[in-house]
Amino acid sequence: MYDPKSKFEKHVLPSGVEVWAACLSDRPDIQRQALSIAIHSGSFHGGRGLAHFTEHGVATTGKFDKVIEEINLEGGGVNCGRTSVWQTTYGFLTPLDRFNEFVERFCGYVLKSDLSFDVEAEKKIILSELYRKFETVSSANHQIFYYQCLLKDHWTPAYSRGLGTPEFINAVTPDKVLEFYAKHYTPANISLITAGPMTIAEVVGVLGQSGWGREPQRGQRATEPKLDRELKESPVKACAFEEPIDASKFFSGVAVSPLATKQAVRLASDILEGIFFKRLRMEKNLIYGVGCNWSNYREFYELSVGFNGVNADRIQEAHDEYQRVWSEIGEGKLLTEEQLAQVKKGFVNAARYNDWTLSNIVDFAESDIVFNGRVEPDSEYLQKMDAATLDEVRQVAINLHPEKCFNRWMLAKGAKPPTTVPIFDLNAASKALNEGRIPQPKQNGLSIDFEI
Ligand SMILES: [Zn+2]
């Protein structure tokens, strides 16, 4: 099995920059080098949207459009800024003979930016990104509400809006951006991840000559936010919101305890999606959409299930079926050893067909480094996957029982809500949670505000 992640080696430059390089000497067809620059600070560290705002400042000041054009003309590519919860990244893919030059230029853009950008103009661009992601304030509030209920008092408000709220974005000042930049864009807070024909010694040589190596030791790795691992009760167990939409939706989410292994969560997610898809979509023709997702937030996992249906009755039936599935899991009728073996086999096969482009190799390695501080070879990952037991997977499924989850319905206009579920005015409920109060269901069926 081709396993380029097993080739990564690490070296720390005197400036404090950490270098991870994979030399793909067995791929003479590859004559390009990819580099990703990971700043170990993201939306969590800056509070609602500051990391993302800074990313825009860096990319705008650095005349990235000129680089994008140049690199594209050479058949390469540029990532001129991406902000996630834990990291902000920039990077490029370039022909070998221009690697040194772009290494030097990117170092200037990222480490020595004066951030002389038009803050007011950028506010408008970032607001437009926010509205592209959340078409309505209501859809953004749904997400925030969901995370606040699911993981109250954890770290969710920062997570749920990496882009920031409109109020936050409008209130950003150049000083705030500069402060974030000075604190986080330091050599010791950066990992450079590269893959291509170059050996780590060659890469280190080039980086040492460049600003990445010449820059004096400065800063430190951003401290990892403290995760409160004890799961708390959600203040609202189930709720419904009225929405001016055509189809109703149901979502159920749970935070999986850190004791569950990553592999078990991943396997459970795939198995459950298979069960739901077959039962709800194929056999009962109940719904038109079903999805089961898992997210990895360091040692904290989140698993969510969602159904879309043309009307609320269908959604209610799907929900009842969903509860039956959990009972069957509890009774040991579902999740057999055979099923598990089948799903594991699927993972091994899928790994063989990984699309190992240079950029993908670097991206996958980067995600490992950000989450675990090291690159995990595929072979190691598959071994752990194979070792996950039925009991572990079942435990994840049991933790997902609807009673432990936060369930919410979004009801299409005019749809009747499930009788036992309180209906909330979303905006009022979000406000209450933000102020630390328990949201109260509304008395009558007034529609929620629907304006951006
Ligand atoms: Zn952006």
Look at residue 150 in the predicted model and tell me its pLDDT: 66
Q: Is residue 271 part of a domain?
A: yes
Question: How far, in Å, is the centroid of ligand 1 from the Cα of 36?
Answer: 18
The boundaries of the domain holding residue 151 are 4-214
Q: Is 341 in the same domain as 415?
A: yes
Residues 6+ apart with CB under 8 A from 128: none
What's the CA angle centered on 144, arms 261 and 153, to 5 degrees?
60
In a domain, 387, yes or no: yes
pLDDT, residue 32, reads 95
Across the chain, which has 452 residues, the per-10-residue mean pLDDT values are 95 97 94 96 82 94 84 87 91 94 93 91 92 76 72 49 80 94 96 98 97 93 69 70 78 72 84 84 76 72 78 79 84 87 90 90 95 92 91 83 78 74 79 75 46 27
In this predicted structure, what is the pLDDT of residue 447?
A: 35
Domain boundary among 182, 214, 246: 214
Residue 253 in any domain: the answer is yes
| Cα 437 from Cα 421, distance rounded (Å) | 19
Q: How many angstroms does the Cα of residue 51 sit away from the middle of ligand 1?
A: 10
Same domain, 328 and 266: yes
Cα–ligand 1 centroid distance for 67 (angstroms): 18
140 and 185 part of one domain? yes
CA of 307 to the centre of ligand 1 (A): 29
pLDDT at 8: 98
Give the model's pLDDT for residue 19: 98
**82 lies in some domain:** yes
* Whether 249 and 208 share a structural domain: no
Residues 194, 242 within the same domain: no
Region of 32 on the Ramachandran plot (φ > 0 left; ψ -120 to 50 alpha; else beta): beta
Q: Is residue 166 assigned to a domain?
A: yes
Same domain, yes or no: 194 and 245: no
Q: What is the pLDDT of residue 286?
A: 73
Q: Are 143 and 250 contained in the same domain?
A: no
State whether 140 and 248 are in the same domain.
Answer: no
At how many degrees (to 10) do helices 312-330 and 390-399 cross?
140
Whether 288 is covered by a domain: the verdict is: yes
Q: Which residue has the tokens 């069957």?
A: 328
pLDDT attached to residue 227: 60
Q: In sequence order, which residues have a C-beta less than 8 Å from that of residue 376 and are 6 or more positions away?
A: 5, 368
- What distance in Å separates the CA atoms of residue 351 and residue 366, rounded to the nearest whole number? 18
> How many independent structural domains does the chain possess?
2
In terms of domains, do 63 and 184 share one?
A: yes
Q: What whole-number distance in Å separates Cα of residue 6 and Cα of residue 10?
A: 12
**In angstroms, what is the span from residue 448 Cα to ligand 1's centroid?**
29
Tell me which residues have their CB within 5 A of the ion that is ligand 1: 129
Please return the burial class of 73, using the count of CB atoms within 10 Å of its CB with bins 0-12, 13-18 and 19+: exposed
**Residue 385 maps to which CATH number?**
3.30.830.10
Q: 371 with 377: CB under 8 angstroms?
A: no
**127 Cα: distance to centroid of ligand 1 (angstroms):** 9
CA of 370 to the centre of ligand 1 (A): 20
Q: Tell me: do 110 and 42 sit in the same domain.
A: yes
